[in-house]
Structure 1
Amino acid sequence: MRRFFRHPVRLVPLGFLAMIMLGTVLLMLPAATNEARYTPFTTALFTSASAVSVTGLTVVDTPDYWNGFGLVMITVLTQVGGLGILTGATLVILVVARQLGLRNRLLVQAETAEFGVGDVRRLLLRIAATVGACEAMMTAVLAGRFWLGYDYPPGRALWYGLFHAVQGFNNGGFALFPDSLIGFARDPWICLPIAFGTIVGGLGFPALFEATREWHRPGHWAIATKLTVWGSVALLAVGFVGLLAAEWSDPRTIGTYDIPGKVLAVFTQDAVLRTGGFATLDIAALDEEGVPLLIALMFIGGGSASTAGGIKVSTFFLLGFAIWAELRGEPDVTVGRRRVATASLRQALTVALLSVALVVGGTVVLLLLTEGLPYHRALLETTSAFSTTGLSTGVSSTVADPGQLVLTLLMYVGRVGPLTLGSAIALNTRRRLYRYPEEQPIVG
């Protein structure tokens, strides 16, 4: 036990598990529901795990089932989960840097480029200030719109603004409307603040802080920042063009909208697609041809040390650079004018392949447990759970308890798994004093 807790990194999954169980107990209380009755354990566990892992998947109608206390608990769990992810992931980088040898420590510091091991207090204060400022601005805009544009009473407008601001910045995806944000798909005062908060929260603070500090010198950014920022821009462009082309004339989604409405609805959906979980399009009504694009973008996710899930943007594009270098016969993988360490490539490959195995395995189990479930819907739901995105075609609320437990496990593993796995790999790095003879097996 003492060896297990030697590295604080291993406390991260236990902390998230403890918060999920505490939330489960509180959500089971009759005081949390509109009907003043005990919530079934599976329902409370699923909702708590979805909130703490900032996923947003639901098995009950959020505004109809939960009362004020229950909704406040979901908000608190989402905020704690989001802050825990942001601070925990960033502090893990510092812990890993301290545990590594001098050479690897310098490599980690070169990647983070912002904070040293002794800057924990300044780091936490800056994270808290950024989160507070973004959520306050989002709350003000949203509350003002609900009040002035939709005639909500001031108190209700403030609560709706705060709830959706917390969900948006933390990439939670819970909504106080039965159709998520579909009813506001053509309202820029609702859609744009949520899209802004989701993008900022999904970048991750290491990349966000360096990009804002060195905005005038993007060529000097660390590799991780370059991959995260420019990779996110590229994925946003691909998702926007793909969704707009696929749904342009579909009357079930945006076919009846005018051109500005189409652009706004698709842009907002694209902004929250990889991380946020809100819906401005009816996901269940999307053509099957567009589902692979959604699954791919959700699986990639957002930036490292962010509220987003998935394998991370930097991991995906790092593997892309590795493939490009191999096709060109290059001896090294380079990004800009920097050579990528072999250890980083192995870590990226490990995280990606294990994530594929978890999603495929979860999909197979869900299909075995649910008769008549289409494969593409099962794959979308498991990918959404593992990537902590929260988009759904309604599968979560229709599968039986065993299926919901599978999705709950995927949300938990998807939230803490890549972080813990990446840290464990880094901490287990050791130097051998010998090397075996090299051999090149046939590949392909």
Structure 2
Amino acid sequence: MRARPVQLESLRARILDRLSDFAASTPARFAVLVFASLVGIFTILFSLPVATTSGQQAPFVDALFTAVSVICVTGLSTVDMATFWSPLGHVFVFVGVEIGGIGVLTVASILGLIISRKLGLRQKLLAAGDANPLRIRKGPVSESQAVRLGETRSLLATVAISVLVIELFVAALLFPRMLLEGADPLSAAWESIYISAMAFTNTGFLPTSSGLEPYASDWWFLIALVIGVVFGAIGFPVIYVLRKNLRHPRRWSLHVKLTLITFALLTVGGTVAYLAFEWGNPATMAAMSLDQRILQSFFISSMARSGGFATLDMGQLDGSSLLVTDMLMFIGGGSASTAGGIKVTTLAILFLAAFAEARGVDDMEAYERRIPQDVLRLAVSVVLWGATTVAVATIVILLITDDVPIDYILFDVISAFATCGLSTGFTASTSDGAQYVLAATMFLGRIGTVTLAAALAASTRRQLFRRPEERPIVG
């Protein structure tokens, strides 16, 4: 009788050891496995009758789509999130976006740190894989990073503290405004915490059917949302460096400088573009005052980076504005952030490479630092995989959908890939088949194109020979 418990304990230990070895040796595959498992778990949770207001089981496509959107912190939905899900269903949404927004491997590392009060090398590597895609492959990695491996413990502490502090800060800004709108204190407290979490995780879900309509012209409320979205979108490595050296910009890493400058330029450029393209649009800003036009343009530009909140009907935007939004969504936010897209540093690296080529120099340089070629190869891979994902998803949906403008389909596909959540209305009204395609696009966009490629590859091989060189014609 005593042998059986010993055997079970031994079997459990072997399983945990193998799982730990698998996670440490192939963190990319482990991340995909964990994300897929979480999607499966939350699909089951959203399929429970108690998760819906009607008390009936949600259709499978709606449960699956919501689970993917929650874990991938996208914000797209096939149902009215405010009225379809019960209070327990909204608790599932809240918990899911917190896990998905922070990062599965980061959450696991934080929990391990809390429980064991120490962080081993394997846990550091897993957490570092969330913070830096260059670590998803085997082999040595240069420690000239925004956050070094030895600083992983401090980064995890920064993640945990920043999530708590920033979400509470944004909730504190929203709470009094909701009280002034007439909400009772208990509802205002829950809704302010819920919305602040959706802002920081760049998800964009709202707990009420009225959405942002009562606050559509409210500077205080909308700027509070922008604060939450921006802090979530710039990335935890940036927050970590700013926390340590806020008053000493010279100590900021190259990653931080590129992220902040590119992020700011895109936000300002998007604001100017929306202001110009929507100025005379009677369906959006034509009847607004100047200050409201500026506010709405700035708000859309900020939300298009992955925030997902909207005060205007995206389907009523001018075609030029839709294209600008497509580009902003595809770029997304900062690396190791709650935002999606190819990331702003990827765009910056591509421009730096183009400038270096135009000047006829071999090395990419910025702020007196040389950027190695493997970073450029990774940036090109990210863009190509992202563009391929968007193109294939758009073509498949076009084949199974009739009488829908391609710009609306492309908009929602990019929103799904970039885990943005803005929609022209196509996602909620389209067929089940198209919704499955959008769900797959959200999953691919969130786990990261580079992570997926590394997960599908058998392993990184060291090539012991070099082929003869020959230059094809380019351009």
Q: Normalising by the residue count of structure 2, what TM-score does the alignment of the two structures yield?
A: 0.86
The structure-2 alpha-carbon separation of the partners of 1:320 and 1:427, relative to structure 1 and needing over 3 Å to count, comes to farther
- 2:116 aligns with none
43-52 vs 327-336, which deviates more?
A: 327-336
One of 384, 387, 402 as aligned partner of 1:353:
384
SS of the aligned residue for 1:334 comes to strand
Verify the 8 A CA contact 2:155 2:237 in the aligned structure 1: no
Q: Distance in 1 between matches of 2:354 and 2:36?
A: 37
CA displacement at 1:373 relative to structure 2 = 1.1
Cα distance in 2 between the residues matched to 1:237 and 1:86: 33
Q: How high is the sequence identity, in percent, across the aligned residues? A: 36
Evaluate the alpha carbon distance shift between residue 94 and residue 187 of structure 1 in structure 2; reply closer, same or farther with a 3 A threshold: closer
Q: Is the 8 A contact 2:232 2:339 kept in 1?
A: yes
Deviations 1:393-423 (A, max 9, x none): 1111111111000000000010003351476
Distance in 2 (alpha carbons) for counterparts of 1:183 and 1:420: 41
CA distance, structure 2, for counterparts of residue 161 and residue 232 of structure 1: 26
1:174 is displaced (CA, Å) by: 0.6
Residue 267 of structure 2 is matched in structure 1 by: 236
| Higher radius of gyration, 1 or 2 | 2
The structural deviation recorded for 1:215 is: 3.3
Aligned to 1:190: 221
Residue 176 of structure 1 and its aligned partner are, at CA, apart by: 2.5
Listed one character per residue, the Cα deviations across residues 250-294 of structure 1 (whole Å, up to 9, x for unaligned) are 232222222222222222221111111110221111011211100
**What displacement does 1:222 show?**
2.4
Deviates more, 1:58-67 or 1:195-204: 58-67
Q: Is the 8 Å Cα contact of residues 57 and 392 (structure 1) preserved in structure 2?
A: yes
User: For the Cα contact (< 8 Å) 1:347–1:422, is it kept in 2?
Assistant: no
Instruction: Give the aligned partner of residue 40 of structure 2.
Output: 21
Mapped partners of 2:156, 2:92: distance in 1: 24
- The secondary structure found in structure 1 opposite 2:306 is coil
Match of 1:81 in 2: 100
Instruction: Label 1:349 to 1:162 Cα distance change in 2 as closer, same or farther (>3 A).
Output: same
User: Distance between the aligned counterparts of 1:130 and 1:111, measured in 2?
Assistant: 21
Task: Determine which of 393, 401, 406 is the counterpart of 2:437.
Answer: 406
The aligned residue for residue 123 of structure 1 is 155
For residue 76 of structure 2, what is the aligned residue in structure 1?
57
Indicate conservation of the 8 Å contact 1:309/1:415, yes or no: yes
Contact preservation (8 Å) 1:90, 1:206: no
- 1:1-400 equivalences under 5 Å are 6-84=25-103, 87=106, 90-92=127-129, 93=131, 104-105=140-141, 107=142, 109-112=143-146, 114-117=147-150, 119-147=151-179, 149-178=180-209, 180-400=211-431
Instruction: Report the secondary structure of 2:307's partner residue.
Output: coil
Residues 227 and 182 of structure 1: CA distance in aligned 2, closer, same or farther (over 3 Å):
farther
Q: Where does structure 1 lack aligned partners over 5 or more consecutive residues?
A: none
- CA distance in structure 2 between the partners assigned to 1:30 and 1:421 by the alignment: 34
* Conserved 8 A contact 1:30-1:36: yes
Shift of 1:437: 2.9
Equivalent-residue separation in structure 1 for 2:381 and 2:236 (angstroms): 24
* Contact 2:74-2:442 at 8 Å conserved across structures: yes
Separation (CA, whole Å) in 2 of partners of 1:59 and 1:435: 51
Contact preservation (8 Å) 1:86, 1:205: no
Output the CA distance in 1 between the equivalents of 2:454 and 2:223. 35
Deviations 1:329-387 (A, max 9, x none): 22222122122111111111011011101101100111111111111001001000000
Unaligned runs of 5+ in 2: 1-17, 108-125
Maintained 8 Å contact 2:158/2:240: no
The one-letter code matched in structure 2 to 1:111 is: Q
- Once residues 187 and 321 of structure 2 are traced to their aligned partners in structure 1, the CA distance between those partners, rounded to angstroms, is 37
CA distances 1:202-224 after superposition (whole Å, capped 9, x unpaired): 01111222234333443443222
Q: Secondary structure at the match of 2:334?
A: coil
CA distance in 1, matches of 2:153, 2:256: 22
| Contact 2:415–2:423, Cα closer than 8 Å, also in 1 | yes
Give the AA of the match of 2:40: M
Counterparts in 2 of 1:20 and 1:404: CA distance versus 1, 3 Å: same
The Cα offsets for residues 110-159 of structure 1, whole Å up to 9 and x where unpaired, read as: 222x4434x44433222111100001111122122101x11100001111
Shift of 1:432: 4.2
Structure 1 85/207 Cα, relative in aligned 2: closer, same or farther at 3 Å? farther
| Cα-Cα RMSD | 2.4
Aligned-partner SS, 2:341: coil
Given the superposition, is the C-alpha separation of residues 212 and 4 from structure 1 closer, same or farther in structure 2, using an over 3 Å criterion? Answer: closer
2:120 equivalent in structure 1: none
Residue in 1 that maps onto 2:111: none
Q: Which moved more, 1:18-27 or 1:221-230?
A: 221-230
Q: Please report the TM-score for the alignment, with normalisation by the length of structure 1.
A: 0.92
Q: Distance in 2 between matches of 1:85 and 1:412?
A: 13
